[in-house]
Amino acid sequence: MWTSSRGQATEPNLVVTWDSSFPHACEQVHPGAPQNGRMRVHPVGATALLVECEPDEVEAWRAELWRRRAAGELTATEIVPGARTVLLDGLRTPERTAEAIAGWAPPPPAAVAGRDTVSIPTRFDGPDLTAIADHWAMSVPAVVDRITRTEFRVAFCGFAPGFAYLTGLPAELAVPRHPSPRPSVPAGSVGLAGPYAGIYPTASPGGWQLVGHTDTRLFDVDRDPPALLTPGTRVRLEPA
């Protein structure tokens, strides 16, 4: 058994090291996990922490932290996932929270229960659909079939209010962004970039590969919550 920086006994199958230059920073390693299977907690200002983990563990940590908050074990006012991080803001005692997180273990990513599924009617008529078919070495109908058979999940939100980064496509189907962004992408455009799919909630510049369009309203200030697609939500892009 080992102890944390406060000398309190902690879980024996975890290793936590504290960086003396950052009193709240810690590292958690599961000895039986792959070499890159580790989590770090970094201080962010006076009331926030940043949990850094592997990309495929973000949703598990997001779900675990939301569960802990609902159970009264965590007082964060904001829990915001990113590509490989989860930000916790509004903490009264960040150092104690960091120590608590070091003793928590989220469920395996495959065991995380998904939230409700949102179906997005999509017209697959995007200007880059043929280029995607060439990149994937398949026909346009096969591209549409592959996308519509995929159960996506909102990994995180960003870029613009209501813009959700959707995971679910395999790594080998990742596609590059355009080298030069379009000056204006219409609202509702469905695009692919890197390992993600996404839908532009409003007209804006953008460099994603456009495969279709939807009339679904993704962000509405009069709706609660305003964003239709929030982290953890499952998403289906269905033919309109």
Residue 54: give its domain's CATH number.
Answer: 3.30.1360
User: Is 160 found in the same domain as 60?
Assistant: no
Q: Tens digits of per-residue pLDDT, 133-168? A: 999 999 999 999 999 999 999 998 988 899 999 999
pTM of the model: 0.74
Q: How many domains does the chain have?
A: 2
Q: Does residue 217 sit within a domain?
A: yes
- On whether both 138 and 222 belong to a single domain, the answer is yes
d(CA 205, CA 186): 9
**Long-range contacts formed by 167-172: CB under 8 A, 24+ apart:** 167/195, 167/196, 168/197, 169/195, 169/197, 171/195
Question: Do 88 and 148 have their domain in common?
Answer: no
Per-residue pLDDT of the chain (240 residues; tens, 9 = 90+): 222 333 333 332 333 333 434 444 444 443 333 333 578 899 998 999 999 988 888 888 988 998 899 999 998 999 999 888 999 999 999 999 998 998 888 877 665 666 689 999 999 999 999 999 999 999 999 999 999 999 999 998 988 899 999 999 999 999 999 999 999 999 999 999 999 999 999 999 999 999 999 999 999 999 988 999 988 899 999 999
Inside any domain, residue 1: no
Full domain range(s) for residue 132: 117-239
The CATH number of the domain where 145 resides is what?
Answer: 2.40.100.10
Is the domain of 126 the same as that of 235?
yes
Domain-terminating residue out of 107, 127, 158? 107
Q: How many residues does the chain have?
A: 240
